[in-house]
Amino acid sequence: MPLLRVEEVSVSFGGRRALDAVSLTAEAGRVTGLIGPNGAGKSTLFDVIGGLRRPRTGRVLLDGHDVTREGPARRARRGLSRTFQHLEPFGRLTVRDNLRVAAEFGPGRRHAAATADRVLARLDLTHLADAPAGTLPTGAARLVEVARSLVLAPKVLLLDEPAAGQDAEETDRFADLLRALAAEGTAVLLVEHDMSLVMTVCDEVHVLDLGRIVAGGPPETIRQDATVLAAYLGEA
């Protein structure tokens, strides 16, 4: 059974349909990609999965439980964690304190400081621990955002364009991290525009265009899919 199952989710803004009967799954031990041009509905789908937006129709299941009517905090306690495309750190707090505050909400809350330091070390961020989070360059700030979601030890991890602003070396290390998280049993759902990262780390890729899933499959297949190319060329 997939850890995350999205069933026929639809969302409209005014009269305009942002998501149209979207279904997908993310499984433990796998990195699942979600790609598509700007405005396709990727972040809106994350809002629905995370509990920030109620879908007009459809369901979200976490580990077999229908969580469609549950709020974000409840879903987080079930093991769901996400990053945001628009970074929202507590800018005046240090990187370490940003992680500690997040850790207070997770299973490691009794050892929030130690949990924060362990995640910082894992992501090679220890040297930035005392820096105010609002002063970091984008690549590092993205990584801190990922670190904040990792202190919750999520079973399902949603990442919204985590590599935007990372340089090539940061992206390589990030790819290794995603593979390691999957190897530990996490279900990773990755929204990302960096196609080489997506094609390298994902086991499966879903393609969203204008609110609809238009293709899905292993990276080798997606790379050559005419519908996928059209979705991107349409944007260009």
Q: Which of 25, 32, 43, 115 binds Mg ion (CB under 5 A)?
A: 43
Question: Considering the rule CB under 6 A, would residue 159 count as an interface residue with ligand ADP?
Answer: no
Question: Based on CB atoms, which residue is closest to ligand ADP, 85 or 200?
Answer: 85
Give which of ligand ADP, Mg ion, none residue 41 binds (C-beta under 5 to 8 Å, depending on kind): ligand ADP
Question: Considering the rule CB under 6 A, would residue 18 count as an interface residue with ligand ADP?
Answer: yes
Question: Based on CB atoms, which residue is closest to ligand ADP, 2 or 41?
Answer: 41
Site for Mg ion in 49-88 (CB under 5 A): 85
Q: Are 211 and 15 in contact (CB under 8 A)?
A: no
Question: Considering the rule CB under 6 A, would residue 82 count as an interface residue with ligand ADP?
Answer: no
Question: Considering the rule CB under 6 A, would residue 149 count as an interface residue with ligand ADP?
Answer: no
d(CA 17, CA 41): 9
Output the 3-class SS for 98-159: HHHHHHCCCCCHHHHHHHHHHHHHHCCCHHHCCCEHHHCCHHHHHHHHHHHHHCCCCCEEEE
Give which of ligand ADP, Mg ion, none residue 40 binds (C-beta under 5 to 8 Å, depending on kind): ligand ADP
Q: How many residues bind Mg ion (CB under 5 A)?
A: 3
Handedness of CA 105, 35, 164, 91 (dihedral sign): negative
Cβ-count burial 52-63 (b if 16+ within 10 Å, e if not): ebebeebebbbb
Site for ligand ADP in 29-68 (CB under 6 A): 36, 38-44
Question: Based on CB atoms, which residue is closest to ligand ADP, 44 or 83?
Answer: 44
Give which of ligand ADP, Mg ion, none residue 13 binds (C-beta under 5 to 8 Å, depending on kind): ligand ADP
d(CA 27, CA 118): 25
Give the binding site for Mg ion (CB under 5 A): 42-43, 85
